[in-house]
């Protein structure tokens, strides 16, 4: 695609020197400015979306899943609980940080032109309707749907007398002894109220007192908030603990008149200061941070909407809260505890259960802790790189197995792992301890500054050090976010390295709910790069030269910038240009500006950005060739994939870094190139599936709002995560020996037209068009009959075959009526070619 403002090649007015310079730039990756292409001022603040408001827009998309009646009731409740959890963290981290800046007198605007005070005010107001929608979704849709199915949260006052009596006795025996009423009066200071604790605000009065007294009672966190009641078979009934407490306060506060009881919850700033430069012990710094959070400034107060003025005035005054920071809630204040309801045994109210599948190259049959198993897994990695995709592939049978077998393999000399977050009962950590016990050199980088996981990581550090393992705690001024592991193994032909570079944490629990990728490779250059990286964790400095890995903060920014500029230069030279990136966040202003410049040159750009995105798509003359997508589904999209077309010689990358300033400049990150064609094919299928999703995909508009993509009336529903689950299940049940590569081929058709077969991974010398969802269309059509149309729909051939009951071996015999016979014959010819003449194998094998 070329810039329409540029003169054609045969335009006599075009400056020959400019054209020659532009053509040269296409080979070097350095864009040039032609005489007629004056670059826009990309520093204008209206070209950039606000980071905080963009994150809240993501929470709105999460909330939509709770409101969407296409989801079953308990799935909707799960998203409702996530809204509370996510916005709690947003207030602790982001709003807390804004408030700190305001108190410090910071007035410098961000790249979108807002000062901290303006952002703070706008954020507080943006959240209000989200809370209203959350309450409305619970009260008018989810709670009634659950009640109809026999799952009820009952009001205490509506319970039978015998049930109330039983609850009162249980309260007296089990809850009452744990409660501590804290009264505020001249003899008692105002009580400390911990972060996110749910509390009762009680006003009482003695007979001889004119003024009511305020007492705070914390709802205990060591009791289940949802108390299950005895209920008929096939039903589940609950009552909230705070309702039981309120109804039985006379047992706790005897001989007083209880005037009013209301509920409140406050949120404190988590962005407390740490001074690493003067600290002698980073562990002490982190312990101090964890402790300070308990006493940090209040950034939000949630209260029931009927709270009396006296209680509210007292809380406001004592907590130093502004009116803008108060949120009036009806119904339950804290929905995060409702995750407990999501876990009940009611599969009829949930999405079908998913169990991560064995990887087709690794399987599950062999014992893990034997030398034979170790030899097998390392031999598999040595044969070809392996791509693992969680939660579609089992973490335990892939990454965990990699480390477990290394721990017990007598030929392994050393194991090195970077831990950012891990499970509280981490088998990965247990494997490292076992490796040390087996006499191997073990080095572990544990990032103590992983927010809200500091305490868990501190405990693991102490355990590892007790076992004599070398532990690095992090780096001054940098947070280590890379997800890497290195195994050094002595073999008959010498010492070899086996590497894992991933996008997700070494955490078996989150691997069941986060979408992440990891590559296992025996590439010696990648192994050498990881040796340098781990030496930095335990040594004095970070090397600035790496053979293959993109490493932040030393090489990654410059290399990503060069890759974007190279596509821009190719587009300016009339050679096209294509970028696809899947990230969690796109916040870095410099990267956004580079993408704008590439878009202005005509580079076709698709960005799959889960949440924060500063880039405005669709700005005339700036970002008309840029589309921003976001997919929100049952699993949290967490993987990062980068594709640069490079004039038909594409480059692929995956790794831990987002396009955010913190990742590029303030964290240690690692991104690896993917060179294996099979792995590239699988990455391509993932991106193509996401870009054609019409169930969970949203499109960012220029004003910062999002619109959800919906299928046309005659179009099948395409849900990315469902399709990837189906693919993982199919390859696992076929023991990695797929009868034919059904994901390579797709059916493309329009209304009233026969379906044509599209080869999504043609041999390089036969590729007719690049793959994308834009005009130009993906892959190569296998016949010359009929033009491809912009609005044609595409589905994987496997999905098409299932819908049309095509059960015979793929592409054998006569073509079905719904498929072009010429395409069918061409596909049969391609799948019959010997290995090496074209790529016909499953990309996972």
Of 772, 775, 550, nearest in space to 645 by CA: 772
Cα–Cα distance between 641 and 654 in angstroms, integer? Answer: 5
List, as one string, the DSSP characters of 505-550: -S-TTGGGTEEEEEEEE--HHHHHHHHHHHHHHHSS---S--SS-E
* Cβ partners under 8 Å of residue 564, min gap 6: 579, 591, 594, 595, 598, 644
CB 550 within 8 A of CB 655: yes
Planar angle of CA 361, 364, 368, nearest 5 degrees? 105
Phi-psi region of 221 (alpha: psi -120 to 50; beta: other; left: phi over 0): alpha
Distances 124 to 128, 129, 322, 613 between C-alpha atoms, Å:
7, 10, 11, 19
Planar angle of CA 783, 789, 793, nearest 5 degrees? 90
Cα–Cα distance between 35 and 167 in angstroms, integer? Answer: 82
Query: Residue 146: beta bridge partners?
Result: none
In the block, residue with structure tokens 């606000």:
50
Cα–Cα distance between 356 and 390 in angstroms, integer? Answer: 7
Cα 326 to chain center, whole Å?
30
CB 558 within 8 A of CB 546: no
Cα–Cα distance between 166 and 244 in angstroms, integer? Answer: 11
Of 553, 501, 563, 555, nearest in space to 661 by CA: 553
Element (H, E) at 667: strand 667-674
Distances 835 to 587, 734, 810, 811 between C-alpha atoms, Å:
43, 20, 18, 18
* Cβ partners under 8 Å of residue 165, min gap 6: none
Of 561, 543, 551, nearest in space to 598 by CA: 561
Dihedrals phi, psi of 221, to nearest 5 degrees: -85, -10
Structure tokens at 743: 């994901």
SS3 476: coil
Active-site annotation holds for 470: no
CB 52 within 8 A of CB 123: yes
SS3 739: coil
Number of neighbours of residue 336 by Cβ within 10 angstroms = 18
Structure tokens at 639: 């993987």
Of 729, 732, 505, 796, nearest in space to 636 by CA: 505
Planar angle of CA 624, 629, 632, nearest 5 degrees? 165
Dihedrals phi, psi of 201, to nearest 5 degrees: -100, 110
Cα–Cα distance between 463 and 459 in angstroms, integer? Answer: 6
Number of neighbours of residue 809 by Cβ within 10 angstroms = 11
Cα–Cα distance between 319 and 296 in angstroms, integer? Answer: 11
Residue of 481, 500, 638, 756 marked catalytic:
481
- Give the single-character DSSP code of 788: -
Distances 736 to 364, 842, 843 between C-alpha atoms, Å:
12, 8, 10
Structure tokens at 103: 């108190």
CB 757 within 8 A of CB 745: yes
CB 814 within 8 A of CB 821: yes
Q: List, by residue number, the catalytic residues.
A: 481
């Amino acid at each position: 695609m070329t810039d329409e403002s540029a003169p054609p090649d045969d335009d006599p007015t075009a400056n020959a020197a400019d054209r020659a310079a532009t053509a040269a730039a296409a080979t070097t990756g350095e864009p040039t400015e032609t005489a007629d292409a004056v670059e826009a001022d990309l520093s204008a603040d209206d070209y950039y979306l606000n980071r905080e408001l963009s994150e809240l827009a993501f929470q709105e998309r999460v909330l939509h899943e709770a409101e969407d009646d296409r989801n079953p009731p308990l799935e909707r409740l799960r998203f409702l609980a996530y809204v509370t959890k996510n916005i709690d963290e947003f207030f602790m981290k982001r709003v807390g940080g804004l408030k700190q800046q305001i108190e410090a007198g910071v007035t410098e605007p961000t790249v979108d032109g807002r000062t901290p005070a303006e952002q703070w005010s706008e954020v507080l107001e943006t959240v209000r309707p989200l809370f209203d929608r959350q309450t409305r979704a619970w009260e008018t849709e989810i709670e009634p749907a659950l009640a109809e199915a026999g799952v009820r949260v009952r009001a205490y006052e509506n319970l039978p007398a015998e049930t109330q009596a039983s609850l009162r006795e249980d309260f007296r025996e089990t809850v009452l002894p744990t409660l501590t009423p804290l009264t505020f009066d001249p003899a008692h200071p105002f009580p400390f109220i911990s972060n996110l604790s749910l509390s009762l605000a009680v006003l009482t009065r003695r007979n001889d007192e004119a003024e009511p007294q305020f007492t705070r009672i914390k709802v205990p966190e060591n009791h289940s908030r949802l108390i299950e009641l005895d209920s008929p078979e096939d039903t589940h009934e609950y009552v909230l603990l705070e309702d039981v407490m309120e109804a039985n306060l006379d047992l706790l506060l005897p001989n007083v008149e209880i005037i009013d009881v209301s509920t409140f919850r406050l949120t404190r700033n988590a962005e407390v200061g740490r001074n690493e430069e003067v600290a002698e012990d980073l562990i002490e710094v982190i312990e101090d941070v964890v402790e300070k959070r308990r006493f940090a400034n209040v950034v939000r107060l949630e209260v029931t909407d009927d709270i009396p003025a006296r209680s509210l005035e007292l809380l406001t005054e004592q907590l130093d809260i502004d009116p803008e920071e108060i949120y009036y809630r009806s119904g339950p204040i804290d929905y995060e505890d409702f995750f407990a309801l999501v876990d009940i045994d009611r599969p009829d109210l949930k999405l079908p259960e998913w169990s991560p599948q064995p990887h087709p190259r690794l399987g599950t049959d062999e014992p893990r802790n034997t030398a034979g198993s170790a030899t097998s897994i390392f031999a598999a990695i040595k044969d070809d790189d392996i791509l693992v995709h969680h939660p579609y592939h089992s973490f335990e049978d892939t990454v965990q197995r990699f480390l477990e077998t290394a721990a017990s393999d007598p030929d392994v000399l050393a194991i090195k792992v970077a831990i950012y977050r891990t499970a509280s009962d981490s088998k990965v950590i247990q494997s490292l301890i076992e490796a040390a016990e087996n006499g191997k050199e073990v080095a572990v980088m544990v990032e103590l500054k992983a927010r809200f996981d500091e305490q868990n990581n501190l405990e693991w550090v102490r355990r590892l050090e007790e076992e004599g393992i070398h532990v690095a705690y992090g780096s001054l001024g940098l947070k280590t976010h890379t997800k890497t592991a290195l195994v050094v193994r002595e073999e008959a032909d010498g010492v070899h390295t086996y590497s894992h570079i991933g996008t997700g944490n070494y955490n078996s629990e989150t691997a069941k709910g986060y979408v992440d990728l990891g590559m296992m490779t025996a590439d010696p250059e990648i192994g050498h790069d990881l040796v340098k990286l781990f030496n930095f964790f335990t040594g004095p400095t970070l090397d600035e030269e790496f053979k293959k890995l993109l490493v932040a903060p030393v090489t990654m920014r410059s290399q990503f910038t060069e890759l974007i500029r190279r596509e821009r230069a190719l587009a300016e030279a009339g050679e096209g240009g294509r970028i696809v990136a899947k990230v969690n966040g796109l916040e870095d202003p410099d990267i956004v500006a580079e993408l704008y410049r590439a878009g202005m040159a005509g580079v076709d750009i698709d960005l799959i950005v889960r949440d924060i995105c500063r880039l405005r798509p669709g700005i005339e003359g700036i970002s008309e060739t840029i589309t921003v997508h976001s997919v929100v589904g049952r699993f949290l999209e967490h993987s990062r994939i980068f594709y640069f077309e490079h004039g038909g010689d594409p480059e692929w990358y995956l790794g831990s870094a987002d396009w955010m300033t913190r990742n590029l400049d303030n964290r240690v990150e690692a991104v690896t190139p993917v060179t294996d064609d099979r792995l590239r094919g699988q990455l391509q299928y993932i991106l193509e599936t996401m870009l054609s999703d019409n169930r969970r995909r949203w499109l960012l508009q220029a004003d910062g709002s999002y619109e959800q993509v919906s299928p046309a009336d005659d179009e099948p529903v395409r849900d990315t995560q469902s399709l990837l689950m189906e693919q993982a299940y199919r390859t696992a049940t076929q023991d990695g020996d797929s009868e034919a590569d059904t994901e390579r081929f797709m059916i493309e058709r329009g209304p009233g037209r026969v379906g044509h077969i599209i080869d999504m991974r043609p041999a390089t010398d036969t590729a007719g068009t690049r793959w994308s969802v834009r005009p130009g269309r993906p892959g190569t059509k296998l016949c010359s009959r009929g033009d491809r149309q912009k609005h044609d729909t595409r589905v994987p051939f496997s999905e098409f075959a299932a819908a049309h009951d095509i059960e015979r071996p793929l592409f054998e015999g006569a073509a079905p009526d719904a498929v072009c016979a010429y395409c069918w014959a061409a596909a049969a010819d391609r799948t019959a070619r010997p290995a090496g003449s074209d790529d016909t194998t499953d990309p996972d094998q």
